[in-house]
Amino acid sequence: MKDFGVPDVVKSMSWCGVNICLGIRKEYVILNATSGAISEVFTSGRIAPPLVVSLPSGELLLGKVGNWSCKLLELM
């Protein structure tokens, strides 16, 4: 078991292979569970908490408030 530091409180998360998509206060980040590297995906907006949904196809659906759009993220 490894401990990783993240930039803020995690509001939602979903595994995708060796990566974990984390919805934190105002953005989404990808944490590589092997290396601990963190990559920013995009900001989530300020009104609603971030939402991460894992799809059967292996993609992740990420919500973004403001323009009510969603983003499909394929990590595998």
pLDDT the model gives residue 16: 84
pLDDT digits (tens, 9 = 90+) for 7-55: 788 988 998 888 899 988 888 899 999 999 999 887 776 667 788 888 8
pLDDT the model gives residue 4: 85
pLDDT the model gives residue 69: 47
**Domain boundaries, given as residue ranges, for the chain:** 10-71
**pTM, whole model, 2 decimals?**
0.76
Which of these CATH numbers, 2.40.10, 3.30.2010, 3.30.930, 2.70.50, describes 10-71? Answer: 2.40.10
pLDDT the model gives residue 73: 58
C-alpha radius of gyration, the chain, whole number: 12
pLDDT the model gives residue 31: 92
63 CB neighbour count, 10 Å cutoff: 19
